[in-house]
Amino acid sequence: MLNVKWRPVAIIATLVLLIHFIVRSPYIEFQFSQTDDAKDALQAERENVIANDQAPANMKHPLPVTVTVTQDVGTPHTVTSIVKETVFVDSDSANEVLEKANAAFVVLTRNKDLKDLRETLVQLEDRFNRRYKYPYVFLNNEPFSDEFKEKIQGMVSGECQFGLIPEEHWSYPEYIDQTRAAEARKDMQDRKIIYGGSESYRHMCRYESGFFFRHPLMDQYKWYWRVEPGVKFACEIDYDPFLFMEHNNKKYGFTVSIKEYIETIPTLWNTTMDFMDKHKEMIPAANLMGFVTDKKGDYNRCHFWSNFEIGSLDFLRSDQYMAYFDHLDRAGGFFYERWGDAPVHSLGVSMFLNKNEVHWFEDIGYFHGPLWNCPKGDANKKCWCPEDQSVEIKYKTWSCTLDFVALENP
């Protein structure tokens, strides 16, 4: 029997252990990194999507789409009915991987992101890369510290390369009116638009849209997997997504797709239509424009959430995509508005690729606050994420993923 005088100590110790377990539990997500403005904007976006799911009028694109989605997709599909072509590795017991793609993880990050990035890389290594040992390319607009390099290199299995972004890729082009850009930031900040007042966020979006794949450290690779600090990987990945893409003629892979906050991109669609009108010869008849338009041909704001991407670098380096990016860059919307790399990538993918070339990695459990992509059915047995939290289930009117699934193949 515990001595009476020690009972309060035992009770306190028990409570401390219980609180520690709750805080460290992977099932409970604390969004410490989100600012109040970001939270308010995300909530406003959800309410906006639920209240009014119509795109602005008079925004039809000039080219025919290959498919129009008119059917009710109903209950979300399961992984077994969607990812039929995924080839799972029979066993990962052997340490030797006989085939690898010419690929790398690419991470745009800063020295202050070290803690969040290490937590992400622990999961990515454990779920996947400890077997495949793909290299990492870390990019920063400021020099990486020795501490950052040492602590990252000590925890990953693949080779690490650390690159400094050229100043001309993270600065204002000469044709941008910086006074006008500053006024736009102030206006968007006053309207509490997510990241509306951030100058660095705009440089980041422009860089991810048109420059990361042109960094010299990326020249040697054909495939990339984008990773961001703080994201979570919830499932065992027992096959090679890079080889899956390569063997199945895929060019772009995603986990989450949602509707963009229209206040950040008021003229992006019109600018894109102007490009399509001037370059009809670049756009194949079998395209994916049905993903970004509704049945009337209006812009629906759907985009692939680009914080997770597995894609072809040859696609981004193509004459078509580069011409599109240059057209957007000259228009100035990265600075005069707040064009994100996600809608830019998605519009490029939708113009130049078809559905057979794009893949939803439903079987990769992935979290970027506040949204989950979580496998359903038997595939969830290898995961710790709750499948009812997956964005296409929890936020049906915000998500575009099942609309993508419903599109017919060309």
Q: What is the mean pLDDT of the chain?
A: 84
Q: What is the pLDDT of residue 98?
A: 78
Q: What own/partner pairs with CB < 8 Å and gap ≥ 24 does 118-126 have?
A: 118/151, 118/152, 118/155, 119/230, 120/227, 120/228, 120/229, 120/230, 120/231, 120/232, 120/233, 121/152, 121/155, 121/156, 121/227, 122/155, 123/232, 123/233, 123/234, 124/227, 124/233, 125/155, 125/156, 125/157
- Please say if the pLDDT value at position 47 is more than 60: no
Q: What is the pLDDT of residue 14?
A: 55
- Please say if the pLDDT value at position 95 is more than 90: no
Chain center to CA of 260: 13
When pLDDT is averaged across residues 63-73 and rounded to a whole number, the result is 33
Answer yes or no: are the C-beta atoms of 308 and 94 closer than 8 Å: no
Residue type, 199: E
- Please say if the pLDDT value at position 34 is more than 50: no
Q: What is the pLDDT of residue 96?
A: 63
Please write the tens of the pLDDT for every residue from 341-353. Answer: 999 999 999 999 9
Measure the CA–CA gap between 332 and 173, rounded to whole angstroms.
9
Pairing, β 302-304 against β 257-259: antiparallel
When pLDDT is averaged across residues 139-155 and rounded to a whole number, the result is 98
- Please say if the pLDDT value at position 73 is more than 90: no
Count CA within 13 A, CB hemisphere, residue 202: 25
Q: Which are the catalytic amino acids?
A: 309
- Please say if the pLDDT value at position 76 is more than 90: no
Q: What is the pLDDT of residue 109?
A: 98
When pLDDT is averaged across residues 25-40 and rounded to a whole number, the result is 40
Q: What is the pLDDT of residue 15?
A: 59
Q: What is the pLDDT of residue 143?
A: 98
Q: What is the pLDDT of residue 8?
A: 55
- Please say if the pLDDT value at position 408 is more than 80: yes
Q: What is the pLDDT of residue 197?
A: 97
Token pair 């993903």 is at which residue?
291
When pLDDT is averaged across residues 287-300 and rounded to a whole number, the result is 97
Q: What is the pLDDT of residue 69?
A: 30
Please write the tens of the pLDDT for every residue from 104-131. Answer: 999 999 999 999 999 999 999 999 999 9
When pLDDT is averaged across residues 199-215 and rounded to a whole number, the result is 98
Q: What is the pLDDT of residue 311?
A: 98
Entry pTM? 0.80
Q: Which of 67-81, 214-228, 266-280 has the lowest mean pLDDT?
A: 67-81
- Please say if the pLDDT value at position 164 is more than 50: yes
Residue type, 170: W
When pLDDT is averaged across residues 238-251 and rounded to a whole number, the result is 97
